[in-house]
Structure 1
Amino acid sequence: MPSGKPPGKHFRQLLFSEAIAQPKVLAAQETLSSPTTEPADPRAMDATDCILQGITAVGRRLEAMDLKITDLSAASVSIMTDIDCFSEMVADLDQRLTNVEDHVGMLPEHDAELQTLREKLTDLEDRSRRDNIRSLAYQKERKALISKHSFKACSQS
């Protein structure tokens, strides 16, 4: 077969129609179906029986092959659906990978920005500590001044 495909249903129907349409086969079938007519040659009847048995056997084989082809067709549709699904997943993953690769180029830029922000945070923490220390020192001084003035006021009275 030139196309590499198994014979299809139409080919089998054509084969059977040609085989049945042959005049010798038709004459043999008429001879077998007619109980009143005796065949002229018993060898012709044997040959006709062999031909009909061969055609029937081929028909059964082709029906079995037809079922297998139908099963294979259903399986191939299922496989094609799976392939389409996997293709979509691969395309999605490829897009995600492209997005990640695009952002990887920006990492040094973000790293420098992150370092600047860390330095600012450290500076703000240091200022806050200094301000807290000053505030505590100021509060102690104030308490000392208040208690000193209170003591003087109490002593003078």
Structure 2
Amino acid sequence: MRSFDLSPLYRATVGFDRVADLMDRVLTNEVTQPTYPPYNIEKTSDNSYRITVAVAGFAGDELSVDVKENALIVAARKASEQEERTYLHRGIATRAFERRFHLADHVKVSGASHADGMLHIDLVREVPEALKPRKIEISRADQIEATSIEA
């Protein structure tokens, strides 16, 4: 395993402590990540994203989408089949799964839809006004002195 020194990052930035946590999480994850179910992540505009998960064989009521502590959790549990079936070949995987996605700050789930065996989850980044960039006016020293003398 590799070890990275993040001290240059701390000298040049303020408030990026979570970047180190994210790097640690990524580097300590196991090399073999689960590949079921397959999914896409697409950026649909500057502040919106869409996650599409292939959920063939699952009905809408067998799927769940939850958000807990900046984590999006997509899970599916197949309802027990009433009748026993004999398969000659079973290629459609309908096994239960749970897939987690870590959400960045201010990213909210705006909706989810299930159609044609695909689960679409729409996300939007809503940055509060207090965190948006703003211009700071710089006053001249003679203006400050004149204001304080008048007061």
TM-score by length of 1: 0.26
Q: Which has the larger radius of gyration?
A: 1
**Whose relative contact order is higher, 1 or 2, with alpha carbons under 8 Å and at least 6 apart?**
2
- Structure number with the higher helix fraction is 1
- Structure number with the higher strand fraction is 2
TM-score by length of 2: 0.26
